[in-house]
Structure 1
Amino acid sequence: MSTQSIHDTAIVVDGLIIAKWGRDLFEDMRRGGITAANCTVSVWEDFQATVDNIVMVNGLLRDNADLVRPVRSTRDIVAAKEEGRTGILLGFQNAHAYEDQIGYVEIFKQLGVGIVQLCYNTQNLVGTGCYERDGGLSGFGREIVAEMNRVGVMCDLSHVGSKTSEEVILESKKPVCYSHCLPSGLKEHPRNKSDEELRFIAEHGGFIGVTMFTPFLKNGVNSTIDDYCEAIEYVMDIAGEDSVGIGTDFTQGQDAQFFEWLTHDKGYARRLTRFGEIINPKGIRTIGDFPNLTEALMRRGMSERVTRKVMGENWVRVLRDVWGE
C-alpha cells in the first residue's frame, strides 16, 4: 500500500489548531485528509466572549456542513472519517472562561468543549502557566480538575507550568495531555518539556501531542518536516508508541495583531514572549500538506502500524478514555 493510500485510510487527528476560522481552512483540512481536530475557541476570553465564539463557530459548521461536522464523542470522529468530512472538536487554551464557577465546566461540555488547557502562559484561578513562577495547582483548581474528570473534559497542560502540571497529573483520575509541545532535549525553551516531564506524564497514563511550531523546533524557521519527525521520534523514545500523537498548533490565516494578542498577558498587558517570523516547517506549510507527514514518518522507518497510531489512533483511544464514549 502506498503512503498516500495509508494516509487516505488512516484516522488523522490534529490535537491543536488555532488557525483563522473559515471555509478556506475547512477546505485545506479536507485536502490534508484531517479526520478530526481540536480547534481553539478560547484563550483570554471570559465566559460571555467564549460563548459568543462558540455561537460563531456553530454557524460556520452549519454553513460548511459539506466539509465539517461537530465532534462530541469518538463515535463522531469515526463517523467523520466515514462521511469524508473533518470533525471539529472545540477546545480552550485557558480555563479563564470558567471564571470562578465550577458549574461552567459542565455547561461548556454540553456546548461541545472536550479539551481544556488549564492555564495559558500565566497565572489564573486554577494554577500557573509556563512563563511565571509556578505556585502549583490551587484548591479551586483541584475542584475544577475533579469536575472535568466527572463530566469528561480532558485536561491539557501544554502552556502550563511544571509544578502545576505535575500536580494536575497526580490529581486527575483520567488521562491528561500535553496537546502541543516539543522536547527541551532538542531545544531549550520555556514552552518545551524536559525528558523528565515527558516521562512523568506518560508513566501516569497521559498523552503527548507533538507540535511543529517552528519557534520551538531545533532549527527555528529553517526547520523541515524531518526536524518535526525527529521531535516525534524523540518523544516516542521516552513515552512509547501508544502515548504520542500530533498537535500541530497551526495558526494559518492569522495576522500580526492576533499574535500580539496571544503574546501579551490577558491579551493586552505585559509582553510574555516574541515569536519572530511564523512559518511552518518546509514540507508541511499548511494543513493541506498533511499527507507529507505520513510519507515522511514512513520514509524514516516508522512501520505502518505505528504510523497509524501516531497520526490519530492514539488520540482516539485516549479521548475515549476521558470522554467515556
Structure 2
Amino acid sequence: MTPADLHNDSIIIDGLICAKWERALFEDMAKGGLTAANCTVAFWENFEGTVRNIVEMNGLIEESSDLLLKVRTTEDIHRAKREGKTGVMMGFQNANAFEDQIGYVKVFKDLGVGIVQMCYNTQNLVGTGCYERDGGLSGFGREIVAEMNKHGMLCDLSHVGPNTAKEVIDESKQRVAYSHCLPDGLKEHPRNRSDEELKYIADKGGFVGVTMFTPFLRAGVNATVDDYVEAIRYVYNIVGEDAIGIGTDFTQGHGHDFFEYLTHDKGYARRLTRFGEIINPKGIRTVGEFPNLTEALLRDGFSESQVRKIMGENWVDLLRDVWGS
C-alpha cells in the first residue's frame, strides 16, 4: 500500500486545532484527509462567551455541512470517515468556562463539548497552569474531575502545571490525556513534558498527543516534518504504540492579535511568554499537507498498523473509553 493509499484508508485525527474557523480551513481539512479534529471553542472565555463561540461553531458546521459534521460520539467519527467529511469535536483549552458551577459541566457536554483542558497556562479555580507556581488540583477541581468523569468528558492536561497534571491523573477514574505536548528531553520548555511525566500518564492508562508547535520543537522554526516525527518517535519510545497520537496545535489563518491574546493571562493581563516567529514545520505547514506526515512516519520505520494507530485509531479508542460511545 502506498503512503497516499494508507492515509486515505486510515482514520486521521488531529487532537488539537485552534485555527481560524472559516471555509478555507474546512476545505484544507478535506484536502488533508482529516477525519476529525478537536477544535478549540474556549481559551479565556467565561460561560457566556464560550456559549457564544459554540453558537458560532454550530453555525459554521451547518453552513459547511458538505464538508463538516458535529461529533458527539466515536460513531460520528466513523460516519465522518464514511461520508468523506471532517468531524468537529468541540473542546476547551481552559476550564474557566465552568466558572464556579459544577452543573455547567453537563450543560456543555449536552452542547457537544467532549474534551476540556483543566487550565490554560495560569491559575484558575480548578488548578494551576504551566507558567506559574503550581499549587496542584483544588478541592473544587476534584469535584470538576469527578463531574467530567460522570458525564464522559476527557480531561486534557496539555497546558497544566506538573503537580496539577499528576493530581488529575491520580484523581480521574477515566483515562486522561495531554492532547498536544512535546518531550522536554528534546527541548526544555515549560510547556514540554519530562520523560517521567510522559511515562506516568501512560502507566496510568493515559494518552499523549504530540504537537508540532515549532517554539517547542528542538529545531524551532527550522523544523521539518521529519523533526516532528523525531518528537513522535521519542514519545513513542516512552509511552508505547497504544498511548500516542497527533495533536498538531494548528493555528492556521490567525494573525498577531490572536497570539497576543494567547500569551497574556486572561487574554489581556500580564505577559506569560513570547513565542517569537510562528511557522509550522516544512512539509506540514498547512492542514492540507497532512498526508506528508503519514509518509514521514513510514519513512522513519513505523509499520502500517503503527501509523494507523498514531494517526487516529488510538484517539478513537481513548474517546470511546471516556465518552462511552
TM-score class, shorter = over 0.9
What is residue 15 of structure 2 aligned with on the other side?
A: 15
- The residue number in structure 2 matching 1:294 is 294
**Deviation per residue, 1:177-199 (Å, 9 max, x gap):** 00000000000000000000000
Report the equivalent of 1:100. Answer: 100
- Which residue is 2:201 aligned to? 201
Deviation string 1:282-320 (CA, Å, 9 cap, x unpaired) is 010000000000000001111000000000000000000
Amino acid at match of 1:37: A
CA distances 1:119-174 after superposition (whole Å, capped 9, x unpaired): 00000000000000000000000000000000000000000000000000000000
* Matched position secondary structure for 1:14: strand
Aligned residue pairs total: 325
Whole-angstrom CA distance in 1 between matches of 2:137 and 2:49: 25
CA deviation vs aligned residue, 1:191-213 (integer Å, no higher than 9, x gap) = 00000000000000000000000
State how far apart, in whole Å, the 2-side matches of 1:110 and 1:29 are.
26
Q: Displacement of 1:46 after TM fit?
A: 0.3
TM-score (norm 1): 1.00
- Name the structure 1 match of 2:320: 320
Amino acid at match of 2:299: R
1:118-137 matches, cutoff 5 A = 118-137=118-137
Structure 2 length normalisation: TM-score?
1.00
Give the 5 Å matches for 1:267-282. 267-282=267-282
Offset, 1:248: 0.1
After the TM superposition, which residues 110-149 of structure 1 pair with which residues of structure 2 at under 5 Å, given as runs? 110-149=110-149
Tell me by how many angstroms 1:240 deviates.
Answer: 0.4
Determine whether 1:157 maps to 2:157.
Answer: yes
Distance 1:180 1:300 in 2: 21
| Amino acid in structure 2 at the alignment position of 1:5 | D
Q: Percent identity?
A: 71
Deviation (angstroms), 1:86 = 0.2
Residue 51 of structure 2: aligned partner:
51
SS at match of 1:114: strand
In 2, Cα distance between the equivalents of 1:24 and 1:151? 34
Residues of 2 paired with 1:222 and 1:28: CA distance?
23
Q: Residues 163-312 of structure 1: matches in 2 within 5 Å?
A: 163-312=163-312
Q: Structure 2: state its 5+ residue gaps.
A: none
Secondary structure class of the residue paired with 2:178: strand
Partner of 1:85: 85
Matches of 1:25 and 1:70 in 2, distance apart?
16
> Which residue type is aligned with residue 287 of structure 2?
I
Residues 19-38 of structure 1 aligned to structure 2 (within 5 Å): 19-38=19-38
Aligned CA-pair RMSD: 0.3
Q: Distance in 2 between matches of 1:173 and 1:209?
A: 20
- Write the distance in 2 (CA, Å) between the matches of 1:278 and 1:130: 20
Cα distance in structure 2, aligned partners of 1:106 and 1:14: 24
CA–CA distance in structure 1, aligned partners of residues 208 and 287 of structure 2? 20
In 1: Cα distance, 2:178 partner to 2:236 partner: 14
Secondary structure (helix, strand or coil) at the match of 2:60 reads: helix
Provide the rounded CA distance (Å) in 2 between the counterparts of 1:42 and 1:318: 22
Tell me how far apart the structure 1 counterparts of residues 9 and 176 of structure 2 sit (CA, whole Å).
27
- C-alpha separation between the residues in 1 aligned to 2:173 and 2:25? 35
Shift of 1:105: 0.3
